[in-house]
Structure 1
Amino acid sequence: MINADPQELAKFGELAHRWWDPQGEFRPLHQINPLRLDWIDAQAPLKGRRVADIGCGGGILAESMAARGATVLGIDLSVKPLRVAQLHAMEVGAENLEYREVAAEALAAEQPAGFDVVTCMEMLEHVPSPESVVRACATLVKPGGWVFFSTINRNAKSFLFAIVGAEHLLKLLPKGTHEYARFIRPSELARWAREAGLAVEQFKGMEYNPLTQRYWLSGDTSVNYLVACRRPA
């Protein structure tokens, strides 16, 4: 069984042509990408590293990591976003960047300990078995390497902010982008990471001000958050 939800794949596939429109449905991804990129690069300098981006979608993060000097493999199971990612990379002349339609678990079986850095951003809350993806990421990274996750906490505040606010009131995201039951508490993600053999190094929250339309990283992990993990050397 492939660890993917056909409805989720179809949902993002239908919007694939809008992926690189900074004012479109994926505007939040464009806005938060510099924050994610700088945070990753500060802890695991990307230049010269081999990176796997799990659930890469249309390639916003993957392409920006390649621009920082990493050799990047972006993978996804939604075909249309992958084609968009490949086309955009060709259009801008991106180097050291490859995309493949393959599951994280399959890539882990094929290339264990094959990457210096593994990123899995805004993806865990869209799959049936997120812990399986966490295990795959832990397998993919070399001893001493870094794994970065980002997802959404599960509590009343995150329901109000990420679904009611972002999807219905502010319309930052299309309705139905997220399903509350699939949100993941930091304690759950930390447990899956430790069970997979990773050391949890840092949590960061990501906040948004709808008046200034600005995102920033903070210590508040109550809604959107990022996790940095490391595989012991």
Structure 2
Amino acid sequence: MTEAPNADPQELAKFSQLAHRWWDPDSEFKPLHQINPLRLEWIDRHARLQGKRVLDVGCGGGILADSMARKGAQVLGIDLATKALRVAQLHAMEAQTPGIEYREVAVETLAAEQPESFDVVTCMEMLEHVPDPSSVVRAAATLAKPGGWVFFSTINRNPKAFLFAIVGAEYVLKLLPRGTHEYAKFIRPSELARWCREAGLDLADTRGMEYNPLTQRYWLSGDTSVNYLLACRKP
């Protein structure tokens, strides 16, 4: 396939190297396994996934995509990290997950092919890994049907987020491999909200995600100072 402009080869390589560990709940992807029930319930509460056509952008090894399919959605997961996609496909075959398929394609390319085709579009933990996140937001908005839902999650950009998401998560607690995140690529909620409005989306809900290292518990809250989720609707 032709190389998509809105992808960082180093980021793709980083996640491809870890691909075989994606479904190990005690691996580098343990935080994704731990937060997935929270994300899934929040998305389902807004969008009612049963019977919906769903696109998961930057699906990686398929943790969220697989769980949305098990909620009764017809899910397409897309990513540009080839090895991670192969892992997702293999897991879907082994687990016999119904209603799921995967494709190696850029979201901008798919938006040109299939505008207004999906009831729900999710893009979780990806925007902070691409050169032009606003392009992903525009493509996601294009792919959603009128009245459809678009969900994002990413990391705020401020000193607290640097301390918690990089120093704490990567160096002190070792929840993530060092170098997983780059502070300059973090996104303030005001920036993401502006990109959504510019793409024609209406902001419906914003939630923060917090973590207690002593209890190893995650929960959703009103504190968006570090990790946060944003729900939008297409008019």
Q: Which of the five TM-score ranges fits, normalised by the shorter chain?
A: over 0.9
What corresponds to 1:34 in structure 2?
Answer: 37
Given the alignment of the two structures, is residue 66 of structure 1 paired with residue 69 of structure 2, yes or no?
yes
What corresponds to 2:203 in structure 1?
Answer: 200
Superposition deviation, residue 189 in structure 1: 0.1
Superposition deviation, residue 209 in structure 1: 0.1
What corresponds to 1:17 in structure 2?
Answer: 20
Distance (Å, rounded) in 1 between the aligned partners of 2:96 and 2:64: 16
TM-score (norm 2): 0.98
Given the alignment of the two structures, is residue 219 of structure 1 paired with residue 222 of structure 2, yes or no?
yes
What corresponds to 2:91 in structure 1?
Answer: 88
Given the alignment of the two structures, is residue 109 of structure 1 paired with residue 100 of structure 2, yes or no?
no
What secondary structure is seen at the aligned counterpart in 1 of 2:61?
A: coil
Given the alignment of the two structures, is residue 160 of structure 1 paired with residue 157 of structure 2, yes or no?
no
Given the alignment of the two structures, is residue 189 of structure 1 paired with residue 192 of structure 2, yes or no?
yes
What corresponds to 1:128 in structure 2?
Answer: 131
Any stretches of 5+ residues in structure 2 without a counterpart?
none
C-alpha distance after superposition, 1:15-62 (max 9, x if no partner): 000000000000000000000000000000000000000000000000
C-alpha distance after superposition, 1:108-133 (max 9, x if no partner): 00000000000000000000000000
What corresponds to 2:213 in structure 1?
Answer: 210
TM-score (norm 1): 0.99
C-alpha distance after superposition, 1:114-172 (max 9, x if no partner): 00000000000000000000000000000000000000000000000000000000000
What secondary structure is seen at the aligned counterpart in 2 of 1:113?
A: coil
> Which amino acid in the other structure matches residue 77 of structure 2?
G
What secondary structure is seen at the aligned counterpart in 2 of 1:215?
A: strand
Distance (Å, rounded) in 2 between the aligned partners of 1:66 and 1:110: 23
Superposition deviation, residue 2 in structure 1: 2.0
What secondary structure is seen at the aligned counterpart in 2 of 1:69?
A: coil
**Moved runs in structure 1, 4+ residues, more than 6 A?**
none
Superposition deviation, residue 199 in structure 1: 0.3
CA RMSD of aligned residues (A): 0.4
Q: How many matched pairs?
A: 232
